[in-house]
Amino acid sequence: MKINTQLVSESQNQEKALPSILYTSEAIFEVERQDIFRATWQYVGLTSQVQNPGDFFTTRLGHIPIIILRDEQGLLAAFINVCPHRGSELILAASGQRKTLQCHYHAWTFSLNGKLKAAPCAKEQACFDASLYTLTPIAVDSLGPLLFVNPTSTAESLRTFLGELPDILQEFGVDLSVLTPRGRQSYEMATNWKIIVENYLECYHCAVAHPRFSQAVDLNQYEVIPYRNFSMQRGPIKAGSKELAATHGLQDSLYFYIFPNLMLNFYPGAGSLSLNLILPIDTHRSLAVYEFLFAESVPDEDTESLIRLIDEVQKEDIVLCESVHRGMLSGFYQPGPLMLSREKGLAHFHQRYVGGE
């Protein structure tokens, strides 16, 4: 990210919050679209959505429409969902099963490998060379049941991007392969996407804003560990807590923030994952998509009580994030100091956001 800002106040030698313009400027939002959301691995869905050859689903990375599918050989593939003829989105359906991909505008038809197979009336056109028109492929890969894509053709592999993350999950006994989806919830929020990320990255506000959550997690033992493209927060569950004892096993709750917009939350037990995807709508609005995955063995009443608690915490966070956004719009906010014993996760995010790699 080539945004030039001073992260450390020279007079006090102290890490600061970001300037308000980074949350309110349309020009900055456009730079983020190009430099972050067009150039980074991002979570798009679950492998169960493309289980069999021909299965596909469509989604968007910001303003980029994409299609993810499983080809005839059973391999994952992803393409920009834009037709090379006149630029319409190729497929409008959200999901389905197809042997070919046919554009809904003039019926150009592509194989699942992105090559043009047929175009109506092509014979009437002298020198029409179908091999010149292919769908634009993009990188796609998975971590357990989680699918990621990256629109950059020169992308580093997902494995390299995620670094130590898979090993850390294994070390804590988290088995992603046993998890299947059991719930989904979306929240539109009147706030810039970075305010939601920053709010997630600290539990300094938990004691004040999340009374029920704070009864369950020992906030004084809460730690934040930064890595290259992600950071991990670890909060030990208080002995005897009923709130987060639903899925048993893990002693701690683990929270991973993966740059730029994904959070993976593991509550006690290898049997649960709550996932938050933060989708920027525009400078002032974002969509937070929550997905809940559980192991088969976790009973419905436990999944429901965890989902209820997360929904309660999310509603408390919406009030905070929208309030910060209004503060940023006031024109009177000067970046305040980060309380590093509690807000170290923000310093890591700012470094990654401003400094790029």
Which of residues 83, 112, 138, 195 is near ligand FES by CB under 6 A?
83
- Coil, strand or helix at 316: helix
Q: Are 328 and 29 in contact (CB under 8 A)?
A: no
| 256 forms part of the interface with ligand FES (CB under 6 A) | no
Which listed option, ligand FES, Fe ion, none, makes contact with residue 55 (CB within 5 to 8 Å by class)?
Answer: none
| 308 forms part of the interface with ligand FES (CB under 6 A) | no
DSSP 125: S
Considering only the stretches 82-90, 98-106, 266-274, 314-322, report the one whose residues sit in contact with Fe ion under the rule CB under 5 A: 314-322
Which of residues 31, 105, 168, 314 is near ligand FES by CB under 6 A?
105
What is the C-alpha separation between 174 and 52, in angstroms, rounded?
26
| 317 forms part of the interface with Fe ion (CB under 5 A) | yes
Single out the residue of 230, 50, 231 nearest to residue 142, CA to CA. Answer: 50
Closer residue to ligand FES in complex, CB, 10/129: 129
| 309 forms part of the interface with ligand FES (CB under 6 A) | no
At its nearest, how many Å lie between Fe ion and the CB of residue 214?
Answer: 10
Which listed option, Fe ion, ligand FES, none, makes contact with residue 85 (CB within 5 to 8 Å by class)?
Answer: ligand FES
Single out the residue of 274, 257, 292, 278 nearest to residue 62, CA to CA. Answer: 278
Specify burial of residue 127 (Cβ count, 10 A radius: 0-12, 13-18, 19+).
Answer: exposed
Closer residue to Fe ion in complex, CB, 148/257: 257
| 321 forms part of the interface with ligand FES (CB under 6 A) | no
What is the C-alpha separation between 223 and 194, in angstroms, rounded?
21
Considering only the stretches 15-23, 64-72, 85-93, 227-235, report the one whose residues sit in contact with ligand FES under the rule CB under 6 A: 85-93
Which listed option, Fe ion, ligand FES, none, makes contact with residue 317 (CB within 5 to 8 Å by class)?
Answer: Fe ion
Report how far apart, in Å, the C-alpha atoms of 299 and of each of 210, 247, 294, 302, 339 are: 25, 9, 9, 6, 40
Specify burial of residue 312 (Cβ count, 10 A radius: 0-12, 13-18, 19+).
Answer: middle
| 115 forms part of the interface with ligand FES (CB under 6 A) | no
Helix ranges (H only) for the chain are: 21-24, 26-32, 158-162, 165-171, 193-200, 206-209, 211-216, 300-329, 340-355
| 230 forms part of the interface with ligand FES (CB under 6 A) | no
- Coil, strand or helix at 51: coil
Closer residue to ligand FES in complex, CB, 83/273: 83
At its nearest, how many Å lie between ligand FES and the CB of residue 82?
Answer: 9
Contacts with Fe ion by CB under 5 A lie at 317
Binding site for ligand FES (CB under 6 A): 83, 85-86, 88, 103, 105-106, 108
